[in-house]
Structure 1
């Protein structure tokens, strides 16, 4: 603990390899973060896409306690667990939005809540409708508020549930499987261990996933 550096909080690898009392708790921390990103409004600053991609790289470590003895099944199990937490998180966000009504649009900004993100998510939802629940999964910040906006807009429960499941499955399986099998490809075919380039991977994923959000924001500012 004496060697703790607060900058580690911005490194997804820190959460994946986290231990408490000598016990690895990375899997449970990853699952909580996935839930918090959409289930708790404070989760917008947590690592999402990069965390799942790295979870694919470290899948063997994360599911060691529940290992099936088969590599493909282990990755599938991890993806399914993450997907389930994503579904639960989105459902909680939807419920909160439905119960709160327009209260959030009147709420004052604080460290954990930024009203501008809520408005950006509303614009995104207005543009894409029900499909926004799926698209938002791949966009940082927007995915935190999209289910809340869906609840405020009183989107049909069955329709929301369908797109919620679809989005969570596509997001978790695509990110985790990509991380796992790209890691294997680079290691076995090119002799490159991606674990030595984690910082570059995280920066690259953040740049790719946040570009659409930044572009939309800057475009809106210039109009």
Structure 2
């Protein structure tokens, strides 16, 4: 049963087939799925945890750093490329000035934000050397925490997979449950945004 579970994990991550190179390249774009999967495979003896975490940290650091440096060197071209996201970038520039350390560290774990933070840094007048240092610290925290999470939580993941393999009818139930949970979360998030917007209008009147 454990071998069956491993086959599912292997097919999902492709890390054992493609090796450390794909892990490194994936993490340059902030691939948290890759480092978590590498942690799981490391617990099964298919990858080395220390090497996986080190490569994830280096890849993540290089990806964010290069993005910020390129944005700093090619501001006009970058702004044209991301013209649809001007408001988001402008907002993040303000956030960078206020919460630099906190924003840089938290953004590592936020999908959809981690790409725009280095971009906002590059376009703004923020000290690029300071960003590179904080970015490196953030990558270390990101890589170690997610790598260890995958490594130590692998037993739980495998148990869930084995249960689903033993009781196939649970698949649709779990799938429907996930859809309901995500839909409910998005609904609550939308309502909160609407309430915040309405409240801000009343305050400005």
TM range, smaller chain? 0.5 to 0.7
Closer/same/farther in 2, CA of residues 31 and 195 from structure 1, 3 Å limit: farther
Q: TM-score normalised to the size of structure 2? A: 0.65
Match of 2:28 among 28, 35, 47: 35
Residue equivalent to 1:42: none
Shift of 1:58: 1.5
Classify the secondary structure of the residue corresponding to 1:154: coil
Q: Which runs of 5+ in 1 are unaligned?
A: 1-11, 38-47, 68-73
Deviation of 1:145 after TM superposition, in Å, equals: 1.4
Residue correspondences, number: 174
- The CA RMSD measured in Å over matched residues stands at 3.9
Which residue of the partner structure matches residue 61 of structure 2?
87
Give me the TM-score of the superposition, normalised by structure 1.
Answer: 0.60
* Counterparts of 1:15 and 1:120, CA distance in 2: 36
Matched residues in 2 for 1:108 and 1:164: separation? 22
Structure 1 residue 51 displacement after superposition: 3.2
The answer to whether the aligner puts 1:98 opposite 2:72 as a matched pair is yes
Quick check: which one's helix share is greater? 2
Contact 1:34 1:86 in 2 (8 A): yes
Closer, same or farther in 2 for the Cα pair 1:181/1:35, shift >3 Å?
Answer: same
Give 5+ residue unaligned stretches, structure 2: 1-8, 165-170, 201-205
Q: What corresponds to 2:121 in structure 1?
A: 150
Quote the Cα distance in structure 1 between the aligned partners of 2:24 and 2:118: 18
Runs of 4+ aligned structure 1 residues displaced above 4 Å come to 12-15, 113-117, 193-197, 219-223
Q: Name the counterpart of 1:5.
A: none
Q: Shift in Å at residue 53 of structure 1?
A: 2.0
Counterpart for residue 51 of structure 2 = 77
SS at match of 1:138: coil
1-structure distance, mates of 2:12, 2:93: 31
- Going from structure 1 to structure 2, the CA distance change for 1:107 and 1:131 (only over 3 Å counts) comes to same
For the 8 Å contact 2:36–2:149, the answer to whether it is kept is yes
The answer on whether the counterparts of 2:104 and 2:135 sit within 8 Å (CA) in structure 1 is yes
Counterpart position of 2:139: 168
Q: Secondary structure at the match of 1:95?
A: helix
Give the superposition deviation at 1:137.
0.4
Give the distance between the partners of 1:55 and 1:196, measured in 2 at CA: 22
Shift of 1:121: 3.6
Query: What are the within-5 Å matches in structure 2 for residues 1-223 of structure 1?
Result: 14=11, 16-17=13-14, 24-37=17-30, 48-59=31-42, 64=46, 74-107=48-81, 114-115=85-86, 117-119=88-90, 121-184=92-155, 186=156, 192=159, 218=193, 223=200
